[in-house]
A = this chain, B = another copy of it.
Amino acid sequence: MRPRVEPTNLTRVDFTELTPDVLPFLGQAAYIQLEFFENLSRAVATSPNLAAKEGLSASAGVALRKHHGLIEEIREHDAEPEDVMAPFAPALDVYRTAIAGADWWELLLGTYVSAGMLDDYFIRLADGLPSPVRGRVVRLLGEVGASPVLVRELSEGIATVPGLADRLALWGRRIVGDTLLVARSAIREGTGTGPEVEPMFTELIAAHTRRMDGLGLTA
Task: Give A residues with C-beta under 8 Å from B.
Answer: 34, 37-38, 41-42, 44-45, 50-51, 53-54, 57-58, 60-61, 64-65, 67-68, 71, 81-82, 85-86, 89
Contacts and interface: CB of A to CB of B under 8 A. Distances in A.
A86 B53 CA distance: 12
29 contacts: A34-B44, A34-B53, A37-B41, A37-B44, A37-B57, A38-B41, A41-B41, A41-B42, A41-B44, A41-B45, A42-B42, A42-B45, A50-B82, A50-B85, A50-B86, A54-B68, A54-B71, A54-B81, A54-B82, A57-B64, A57-B67, A57-B68, A58-B68, A60-B64, A61-B61, A61-B64, A61-B65, A61-B68, A64-B64
B45 A57 contact: no
A-B residue pairs, 7 tightest by C-beta: A41-B41, A38-B45, A61-B64, A50-B82, A51-B82, A57-B64, A50-B86
Contacts of A65: 61
Contact of A41 (B60, B71, B81): B60
A43 B170 CA distance: 31
Contacts of A38: 41, 44-45
Contacts of A42: 41-42, 45
